Structure 1
Amino acid sequence: MNYKVAVVIPTLNEEKFIARCLDSVISQSYPFEDMDVMVVDGGSKDRTKEIVEEYKRKYQNIRFLYNPGRIQSIAFNIGVKSSEAPYIVRLDAHALYNKDYIEKCIKGLEADNARGNVGGRCIILPFNESLWAKTNAILNYSRFGIGGSAFRVGMKPDYVDSVPFGTFPRSVFEKVGGMREDLPRAEDNEYNSRIRKAGYKVYFDPEIVSSYYARPTLRTSCKQMYANGESIGHLFYVDRESIGLRHLVPLLFVAGIICGVFLSFVWLPFFFALLAGLCLYFTCDLLASVMAAKEHGWKYLLPLFIMFFCVHISYGWGTIVGMFTGRKLKNMSNKITIDKTASTLLQLLRIAINRRACAITDNVDWLSVKRLAQEQGVRGLAYEALELLKQENAECAYFPDRMTLVQWYAQTVLVKKMIAQHVNLVKDVVGLWKQHGVKTIVFKGLAHSRYYPKPEHREFGDFDCYLIDAHGCCAYRQGNEVARKNGLMVDDGWYKHSHIAYKKLTVENHQFFTSARRGGTDKALHQYMVEAIGDGSKLERLDGTDIYVLPIEAEGLFMLYHSLTHFLVEGINLRHFVDWACWIKANQDKVEWSEFYLLCKRFRLDGFVDVLNSIAVKYLGVVLHDKTIFTDSEFAERTIMSALYDDSSIYNRGKGQWYERLHVIGNAFKYSWKYKYVAHYSMIGYVWQFVYGFLRRKE
């Protein structure tokens, strides 16, 4: 039978709850006959299986599946793979669900295709009528106790980090894969993080309500909190982005106590600092206990005061232990697969770069492909591929409709007109400098365009240049003065380059190619670029202009440096990958690769060049003649995913310069893998350079 919803319920010794859970599923307002209900059991030793078997005899759409891995993430994956239903609901046997729970979850997904998970509010119920069971239920509603997750205390619909007992479209599972099977807990945190990275949103609706039974004793509550904390420690090695501040507060609390105790033996003031910190904590504990007891009853005052402290210590200590025991876990966020839209766009770029048509068989939303091409700065190149497909009558089962093609063509024509206007304005400024004996050397956008099959399809904004006089000396100040005297607006407040405004063109007149003030490899690379230029007598010109270009090796190194800086600081897009693919395709036989790679290592660009070469070969179809060039970087796909889905842009947000500065620092911590595995930089050292520049140099 073709079911519409797969309901996955992991179980392990749930004889006290599974019947109530199944009853709440059977009584849903959503048609029960359209549900494929799977109880995936991890080897229960109680009567769980017998109870489910009784329900199976009554209802043909209830199944009992075996989970050899025992943990919930494996159970979820087994359930999803055992059904073909387009929607997947992950429920917990320890909970009950309002009559309209599944119906509202499905409607929530159908309301917006961007939603990858929908869930709601979770009401915490006491396990039984004991004092500690009720205390634990009360504690779960306290911001001081648990941290104030939206699904516990939220009352407004919103997009959030995570929701319990979520509902997913099958496309999410197909795109990001299943839950991690090496995470016994916090698998939902990591899974929701992957969902968000893949471009989906996690939606919280407070009208979607479930009820969960809290642990019945102080001991079981602490045991649960310890396990939850340990899972957060594991996430440090898996996906730090899924960890929120509220998860770290208990860790800091426990670590502070431990450090305070040891340091007290070294210096007495540490003892008083520890004492003051504990006094502050217990004051907050008492206030939170009083507020909760005032609402629920004064008999809970002392139990709450004790339980707050115990669960915080348990959670914090569990996190510390998890940070030591989780080293064997590896980050798998690069396992996200590229969706059809992005895959089709990459295929179009491959066709355009190599001028070879190939079949496109995926049924894809071409408007989404067009939109993505625009966002990634490659719409002209993508349209070029469509023209080639049409000319060669290549197999394309799902070619864009006429209206989409017309819109795409109009955008491509607009790009060509804008570039032509920019080039004419550039020639005016370059001619002005030439009259005063100044040579203009271009790099970045306009320079890269000459390697494209059709240069007019390479989009660019500002005109980046380096000026030299007749002796090859930097003419930065002379260029600024010439511009001022001719009525152009010049802003030279930053050491690296000035901004010169000429009509609709912004010129960046560079004094330095790199952030040379940092010293080290930045300064060394700038010096190398200057030496490569020499007196300028051997530089080549762009066809039909008085604009000069960098020597090939210097151009390649700068392209790597510039793209790596974007990658680390503010995000990268597919255009950077295309620039490199076109460059290496055109120049691979002109460059001695072994020597060039030594230069990359000298300037700490070797990790990034491996990634870009791998992308050029594997995803953009470039054929390299030198088989010694490394093209199998394990971070190639992850870097593409970063370009497609990371929210790392720091500009054009309208929130001011300090927001941009803080966002730079936030990106460094959020995407620390880029520093460790690709750039081979110290993330802390890199951040310090930014902070020092902000505070001391006003950069």
Structure 2
Amino acid sequence: MTVHTPSQPVSASPNEVVVHPTGITSVSVVIPVRNESLHIRNTLEQIVRQDLHGIHLEVFVVDGESTDNTRDIVLDFATHHPMVQLLDNPNRLSSGARNIAIEHMRGDVLVVIDGHCEIPTREYFLDLVAAFEESGADCLGRPQPLDVSNATPLQKAIAAARSSRLGHHPESFIYSDEPQFVPAKSVAVAYRREVFDRVGQFDENFDAHEDGEFNLRCDRAGLSCYLDPRLKVKYLPRTSLTGLFKQMVRYGRGRVRLARKHAGMWGLGSLIPACLVLYLIIGAVASLLLNHAWIPYVVGLSIYLAAVATSGLIIALQQHSLAMLYRVPVVLATVHIGAGWGVLVELLGGSRRMKTATPPSYHEHLQC
């Protein structure tokens, strides 16, 4: 890989855009996939229909040994669109897929796009290049709402709950629509190629939260990240509470690994869900064994239920949907308990990589 002089952090005020022409003429796209046959064709069609106006685009679909017909779909697509390439990812992890793309990329910048998302405009890559050039940033972030067409009632509830104050990590900018310089750790998805020379590649010991760990290294290296709402993409929410719970368990485990590797990464936002799970378990046992222990347990549980119920009421009023009144609290409880359980399991399970290495899909961004 050619070594370029790393961009210096922008010394502007947090919301000031500095015009810094960079001469970006080529963009590399990495799409980590495994078993994405239901969505990958639609994602690729959105990409090849983009207006490029002279930008050279290469698209790497990096497949983690799919067992459905994802590979056949991509290969068929590639025969008609030479910009699309299928690459193999034998370790199956999203971190590995990203590193494979880094090794193959010829573009000036690399952007991550998942196999199941909606790109709202046909100027996405033009806006991407413009955002790099206007901001002078080393990395770009984007809003990533869980909001797609033809969503089921449960998916709509998940999208609404996850974007609420109780539904995602308080330090995340993933649902922000304000253009601004932000820490890379919660939102960065596009990088100048020299960033990888500066901070290395993605850590393949992470099978979740690998993007957050890499972005944290970008922050600690003094690299700048600009959040640009023009780069918004819409993601597919989980289709079941079971799937949502498993996703949140992975988030919780990833946060513990991040804290193990990088000092100072434990925060209240990560610990509260784990405390909730411990409270539910210990309080239930104590209520059975100790006289009157059920009183403080019920009081605490009532406060929590009132909080999630209030969130459900607010969302129901905002969206004029009675169903949100009961769906949102259930979704929020699933999010909190899943994330808390993941933290506890990882704390008790040591630093070894999760044996359930590959999720049904690679959508593991920092939305909690």
With structure 1 as the length reference, what TM-score do the two structures score? 0.44
Deviation at 1:303, TM superposition (A): 1.7
Q: 1:35 aligns with which of 53, 57, 63?
A: 57
Query: In the TM superposition, what are the counterparts of 1:488-637 in structure 2 within 5 Å?
Result: none
1:226 matched residue in structure 2: 249
Change (3 A) 1:171 1:245: farther
Query: In the TM superposition, what are the counterparts of 1:230-309 in structure 2 within 5 Å?
Result: 230-242=253-265, 244-262=267-285, 268=291, 271-296=294-319, 297-309=321-333
Asked if the contact 1:293/1:299 (under 8 Å) is kept, the reply is yes
For 1:118, the aligned partner's letter is: L
Deviation at 1:248, TM superposition (A): 2.7
2:69 matched residue in structure 1: 47
Asked if the contact 1:151/1:206 (under 8 Å) is kept, the reply is no
Is the aligned partner of 1:139 residue 2:161? Answer: yes
2:114 matched residue in structure 1: 92
Query: In the TM superposition, what are the counterparts of 1:381-420 in structure 2 within 5 Å?
Result: none
Deviation at 1:131, TM superposition (A): 2.4
Change (3 A) 1:247 1:27: farther
Change (3 A) 1:165 1:39: farther
Q: 1:107 aligns with which of 116, 123, 130?
A: 130
- RCO comparison, higher one (Cα < 8 Å, 6+): 2
Query: In the TM superposition, what are the counterparts of 1:113-192 in structure 2 within 5 Å?
Result: 113=136, 115-125=137-147, 128-147=150-169, 149-164=172-187, 166-192=189-215
Which is worse superposed, 250-259 or 75-84? 250-259
| Inter-partner Cα distance in structure 2 for 1:58 and 1:241 | 49
For 1:168, the aligned partner's letter is: Y
1:77 matched residue in structure 2: 99
For 2:182, the aligned partner's letter is: Y
1:324 matched residue in structure 2: 348
For 1:205, the aligned partner's letter is: D
Deviation at 1:185, TM superposition (A): 0.6
Deviation at 1:244, TM superposition (A): 4.8
1:311 matched residue in structure 2: 335
Deviation at 1:21, TM superposition (A): 1.1
RMSD over aligned CA atoms reads 2.4
Change (3 A) 1:139 1:260: same
| Inter-partner Cα distance in structure 1 for 2:212 and 2:181 | 17
Asked if the contact 1:157/1:206 (under 8 Å) is kept, the reply is no
2:237 matched residue in structure 1: 214
For 1:322, the aligned partner's letter is: E
Deviation at 1:257, TM superposition (A): 2.7
Q: Deviations over 1:316-353 (max 9, x none)?
A: 11111022224247xxxxxxxxxxxxxxxxxxxxxxxx
Q: Deviations over 1:279-298 (max 9, x none)?
A: 11001011000011112201
| Inter-partner Cα distance in structure 2 for 1:281 and 1:298 | 21
List gaps (5 residues or longer) in structure 2. Answer: 1-23, 354-368
Among the aligned pairs, what percent are the same residue?
Answer: 26
For 1:131, the aligned partner's letter is: P
| Inter-partner Cα distance in structure 2 for 1:32 and 1:214 | 34
Deviation at 1:221, TM superposition (A): 1.4
Deviation at 1:227, TM superposition (A): 1.8
Asked if the contact 1:40/1:75 (under 8 Å) is kept, the reply is yes
Change (3 A) 1:127 1:139: farther
SS at match of 2:142: strand
Asked if the contact 2:135/2:226 (under 8 Å) is kept, the reply is no
| Inter-partner Cα distance in structure 1 for 2:32 and 2:340 | 27
Deviation at 1:93, TM superposition (A): 0.9
Change (3 A) 1:245 1:286: same
Q: Deviations over 1:15-74 (max 9, x none)?
A: 111111112222233347601211000011112111111221112221100000101000
Greater Rg, structure 1 or structure 2? 1
SS at match of 1:327: coil
More helix, by proportion: 1
Change (3 A) 1:56 1:158: same
| Inter-partner Cα distance in structure 2 for 1:163 and 1:27 | 29
With structure 2 as the length reference, what TM-score do the two structures score? 0.81
Deviation at 1:110, TM superposition (A): 2.8
For 2:326, the aligned partner's letter is: L
2:360 matched residue in structure 1: none
Asked if the contact 1:163/1:204 (under 8 Å) is kept, the reply is no
SS at match of 1:168: strand
Which is worse superposed, 38-47 or 100-109? 100-109
Asked if the contact 2:184/2:215 (under 8 Å) is kept, the reply is yes
